[in-house]
Structures are given as C-alpha cells and as structure tokens.
C-alpha cells in the first residue's frame, strides 16, 4: 500500500513585534527596562543621580566661565555682591540641569513642586513668616541677655541700597537651596521611594559622618535621622496614603542638615535646626501645593538674620548690615559663632512656625503636589 507524502503542518506565525519569551536577549532587555524604567518613567533613583551629575557638571562649566571673566576669584570677600555672584553659578546650573531632566522625563519644569496656586501670595506670606520667626528668636535672645546690640552700622540712603542688594542675594540663595531640595529632589523622591530606601540614605549619611567628620555638628544629622525613623516606619507598616512623600521629606530634610555641615562655625544645634527647617519647608509644599512659601520664608529668614540684625548666619558673619549684634553668655543659649540658629531656643521657634503654618494652611483645599504636577502635565 502506497503512502502519500503529506506536507508538514505550518506553525502559526508569531505576531509582529512580540519578542520570543524564550529569547535570552529579550529577557535581558526586559530586565534592563524594569531596572531603569518604572510606572512613572525613569526611576527616581536614576533621576536623582543623573540630575546631581548634570548639576555639578554645569556648575563646573559655568564656574570656569565666571572665573575666566573675573567675576569670581579665589579670595573673593564675603559681601552681598559676592554672595549674589557666587550663588548665581549654582542657580544657572540648577535651572539647566532641571530643564534637561524635564525633557528626559517628559514633564514641564513647573511639575517640580512649582505648579500650585497663589504663587505671589504664598511667596510673600512666606517672607513675612520668615522675618517674623527670626525676629521672635532674636527678641528672645536679646531679652534673655544672650544677644547684645550696638550702634547701627549703616545710615541714610545706603541702608536701602544695601538692603535691596542683600534681598536679591538671599533670594538667589533660597532659589538654589529650595530648587534643589524642595523642588526637584522632593518631587522626584516622592514618586519613587519607600521606607527601606529612605533608611538606606539615612544610614549612608550617618556612616559617612561617623568616618570622616571630626566635629560635633554630625550629631545634628544623627538627631534628624533618628527622629524621623519611627514615624516613617509606622507610615510604611500601615501602607499609609502619601507615605512616599513623607519618606522623601525625611530624606531631603536630613540631607539639608548634612549639606550645612560644610559651613564653618556651625554647631550640632544649628545643623539640626537646618534639618528641622527643611522639614517645615516640606510640610509647606504639602499644604500649599508648591515650594513658593518655603522660598519666601527661606529668603526672609536669611535677610533678617544677616542684614537687618547683623548676626551670624549658619556661622557666617558678613559686612554690610544695618544693626550690629554679638552673642553673649553660654553658646547653648546664645548660639555662639553659629548665630541665632545655633541656640537651643531656635527649636521652639521653628516648632511655633510649623504650628502657625498648619493652622493657617492646614484646613485649606490647596491641591497637593502630585495633583498639581498632574495638572501641569
């Protein structure tokens, strides 16, 4: 009996564009995509690393240009004009780095905690809050005999000219620090951090200071890291809504304190106060919908401290101030070389500022930063 040669059955054609699940190359590609890209685009950790690299790269290039044209020198004196010029370099680098990241991440610059409502009102209310809080602290120090005032150092029209110059200088300083910490870093970490990554960041900072710091200022960072541990752990265990924002606030606030350890004259209380104030600024982003209140408060606090009262600011005393003041007595109360921020009394003043912020804005219906960012997209 003859058998016929039957043609072999044809295999169903695979859909075009679908990678073979058994292909090792396709699996590696999928793993790589998962490692780099998350539900909201480029993963937060890679975004932070890339932004930081771009920021320092652009800062170096712009700094070289400023140095070449004689705008800055190695022995530039501390003055309002020089602070303005020096901090313009990181400000320009920050703007360019953020612009590049906005293109990479396909989101507008305003999404980085700048898209909330009532920008002008929030900014100027922040200025008033910063001026009032610093004045309260200075008033308590003067009342207790821990700060003594001398004769005014400026007179006549010069007061207004120098005041305006310091105002612009500290606005630039606030733009740099708030732009880096409460705008890009806070927004980016809040979209992709959990408790364990936040804890790892805290541990890395504390380990670095334990190994390389030779002063007591490190204890301010240790205190900020320790105080945030339990609340953030509880939020993580409860899987609370917006937990990522508070994990990000914990990290960026502690990093803000860590950032101030490079200042000469700082003590551990001043470092902790910087971290605590950074947390208040994070809260302001949550309750107002943007970083504008924090920007105004930051600039107002520094202006009153350096120009109006003439005290040290984070260990720096600059010429060109209206009043003159000197600390007296125990540095624990007076702040010593650190200035009012180094006094233990600053903690109570910042706490009052936080309470006032929550009382004024906490019950309002400002959109949270995530909603504002989505509206900007």
Q: What is the pLDDT of residue 101?
A: 96
- The residue that leads in pLDDT, 116 or 94, is 94
Per residue in 284-328, pLDDT (tens digit) is 999 999 999 999 999 999 999 999 999 998 888 888 899 999 999
Q: What is the pLDDT of residue 11?
A: 47
Q: Compute the C-alpha angle 174/175/181, nearest 5°.
A: 85
Distances in whole angstroms, Cα of residue 262 to Cα of each of 259, 317, 327, 337: 6, 15, 22, 15
The answer, yes or no, to whether residue 5 has pLDDT greater than 60, is no
Q: What is the pLDDT of residue 36?
A: 67
Res. 76 pLDDT band, cuts 50 70 90? low
- The residue that leads in pLDDT, 17 or 162, is 162
Q: What is the pLDDT of residue 329?
A: 93
| Alpha-carbon torsion (350, 300, 290, 47), positive or negative | negative
Average confidence (pLDDT) over 73-98: 89
The answer, yes or no, to whether residue 233 has pLDDT greater than 90, is yes
- The residue that leads in pLDDT, 38 or 170, is 170
The answer, yes or no, to whether residue 276 has pLDDT greater than 70, is yes
Average confidence (pLDDT) over 331-346: 95
What are the residues facing 38 on neighbouring strands?
41
Res. 197 pLDDT band, cuts 50 70 90? very high
Averaged pLDDT of the chain: 88
Residues in the chain: 377
Per residue in 66-75, pLDDT (tens digit) is 989 888 876 6
Rounded percentage of the chain residues whose pLDDT exceeds 90: 70
Q: Sketch the domain layout of the chain as residue ranges.
A: 115-376
Q: What is the pLDDT of residue 42?
A: 83
Distance CA 323, CA 149 (A): 7
Q: What is the pLDDT of residue 14?
A: 47
Average confidence (pLDDT) over 270-276: 97
Per residue in 23-43, pLDDT (tens digit) is 666 555 555 555 667 677 788
Q: What is the pLDDT of residue 155?
A: 85
């Amino acid at each position: 009996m003859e058998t016929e040669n039957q043609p072999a059955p044809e295999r169903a054609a695979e859909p075009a564009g679908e990678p073979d699940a058994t292909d090792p190359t396709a699996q590696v590609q999928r793993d790589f995509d998962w490692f780099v890209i998350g539900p909201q685009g480029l993963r937060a950790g890679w975004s932070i690393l890339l932004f930081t690299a771009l920021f320092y790269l652009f800062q170096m290039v712009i700094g070289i240009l400023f140095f070449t044209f004689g705008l800055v020198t190695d022995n530039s004196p501390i003055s309002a004009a020089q602070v303005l010029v020096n901090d313009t370099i990181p400000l320009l680098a920050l703007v360019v780095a953020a612009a590049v990241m906005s293109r990479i991440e396909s989101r507008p610059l305003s999404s980085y905690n700048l898209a909330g409502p009532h920008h002008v009102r929030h900014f100027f209310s922040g200025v008033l809050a910063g001026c009032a809080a610093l004045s309260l602290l200075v008033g308590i120090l003067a009342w207790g005999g821990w700060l003594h005032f001398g004769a005014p150092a400026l007179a006549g029209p010069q007061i207004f000219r120098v005041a305006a110059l310091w105002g612009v200088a500290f606005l630039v300083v606030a733009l740099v620090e708030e732009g880096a910490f409460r705008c890009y870093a806070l927004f980016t970490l809040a979209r992709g951090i959990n408790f364990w990554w936040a804890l790892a960041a805290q541990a890395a900072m504390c380990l670095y200071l334990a190994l390389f710091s030779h002063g007591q200022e490190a204890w301010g960072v240790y205190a900020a890291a320790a105080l945030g541990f339990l609340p953030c752990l509880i939020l993580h265990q409860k899987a609370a809504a917006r937990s990522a924002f508070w994990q990000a606030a914990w990290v960026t606030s502690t990093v803000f304190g860590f950032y101030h350890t490079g200042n000469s004259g700082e003590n551990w209380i001043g470092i902790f106060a910087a971290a605590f104030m950074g947390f208040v600024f994070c809260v302001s982003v949550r309750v107002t919908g943007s970083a504008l209140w924090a920007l105004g408060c930051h600039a107002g606090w520094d202006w009153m401290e350096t120009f109006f009262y003439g005290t040290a600011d984070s260990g720096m005393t600059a010429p060109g101030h209206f009043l003159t003041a000197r600390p007296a007595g125990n540095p624990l109360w007076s702040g010593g070389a650190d200035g009012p921020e180094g006094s233990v009394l600053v903690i109570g003043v910042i706490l009052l500022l936080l309470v006032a912020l929550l009382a004024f804005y906490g019950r309002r219906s400002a959109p949270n930063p995530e909603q504002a960012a989505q509206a900007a997209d």
